[in-house]
């Protein structure tokens, strides 16, 4: 298996309309920044993203149903360099 990306020094930030309760993937954990800004980041078990594959990261949120008037949140990735 070819690993495309191994670095674990990144966070994926996104707007969580309702509070995030759990990340159902052992390779990721979450944190709350402020307001609705939340992030997920790799845990120590993260081995990288295999080339030509899809990774699912199920998120469990507090009660929520999508309404026609809801603005869907966007996400962005922040990479830490030292």
| pLDDT tens, position by position, 16-58 | 878 899 999 999 999 999 988 899 999 999 988 888 888 889 9
How many C-beta atoms surround the C-beta of residue 39 within 10 A? 21
Of the two residues 26 and 6, the one the predictor is more confident about is 26
pLDDT of residue 40: 93
Residues sharing a CB contact under 8 Å with residue 3, sequence separation 6 or more, in sequence order? 47, 48, 49, 50, 51
CB-based burial of residue 6 (10 Å sphere; 0-12 exposed, 13-18 middle, 19+ buried)? exposed
Tell me which residue range forms the domain holding 23.
3-79
Nearest to 20 by CA among 46, 38, 2, 7: 38
- 80 pLDDT higher than 70: no
Dist. CA 40–CA 66, nearest whole Å: 22
Q: What is the CATH number of the domain that holds 18?
A: 2.60.40.290
Say how many domains are in the chain: 1
């Amino acid at each position: 298996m070819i690993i495309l990306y191994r670095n674990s020094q990144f966070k994926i930030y996104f707007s969580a309309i309702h509070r995030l309760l759990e990340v159902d993937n052992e390779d990721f954990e979450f944190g709350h920044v402020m307001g609705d800004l939340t992030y997920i980041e790799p845990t120590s078990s993260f081995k990288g993203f295999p080339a030509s594959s899809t990774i699912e990261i199920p998120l469990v949120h507090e009660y929520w149903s999508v309404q026609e008037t809801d603005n869907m949140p966007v996400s962005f990735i922040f990479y830490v360099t030292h």
